[in-house]
Amino acid sequence: MLMVLFLPKGKLHLSLDRTEWDFGSQQWNVLMLTAYSEGVGLPLWWSLLDNNSGNSNTQDRTKLLTQVVTLLGSERIGSLCADREFIGKDWYKWLLNNKIRFFLRLPKSHHIQVGQHLMKPESILGDRKKALLDNIQIADFQLSVALERVVNQKGESDLLVVLTNSFAYIDSFLQTSVEYRNLF
């Protein structure tokens, strides 16, 4: 909680990630929430997962974020960014119920329902560099999806697929994604 004293005033942009550390025969699987401001990340809250290298589940995530919301208040959370393992209907529902603006990266193999058709992001994008889809039905919710061709850390062409609940701010996603893209 001491780290809260070092946070800037105003809205915070949070990143949720899981990391694994091996110390000899001991393995630590950590779920970490970091606050970002002006390109600097400050570890805010973390919890140890007891599943030996497994992904977190919705209960792990909501427990961690509930502690942060209790400490800071949901009005301080400007947005939450998370990678491909942080998906799921119950997770989306919790974020929506808590009015947390989110940008969740989806696996590029994830199918997206466009009208009556389930399509892969690559097919939706076609020859375009980027596409924004509003009011897409995903796990019983009307959400938005942003697709963009990017160059990954290895210098290879890749596809960034991001699920968001902030279609009213979707234009700002492209600006925000430049900051977040470095986290993936």
User: pLDDT, tens digit, for every residue of 115-147?
Assistant: 888 899 999 988 999 888 888 888 888 899 999
What CA–CA distances, in Å, run from 86 to 22, 136, 156?
22, 19, 24
* 134 Rama class: left (phi>0) / alpha (psi -120 to 50) / beta: beta
pLDDT in tens, 32-63: 998 887 777 888 888 888 766 678 888 999 99
Least confident of 36-40, 110-114, 119-123, 159-163: 36-40
Which residues, in sequence order, are CB contacts of 123 under 8 Å at separation 6+? none
What stretch of H or E contains 173? helix 170-181
What CA–CA distances, in Å, run from 9 to 36, 60, 69, 104?
12, 27, 15, 24
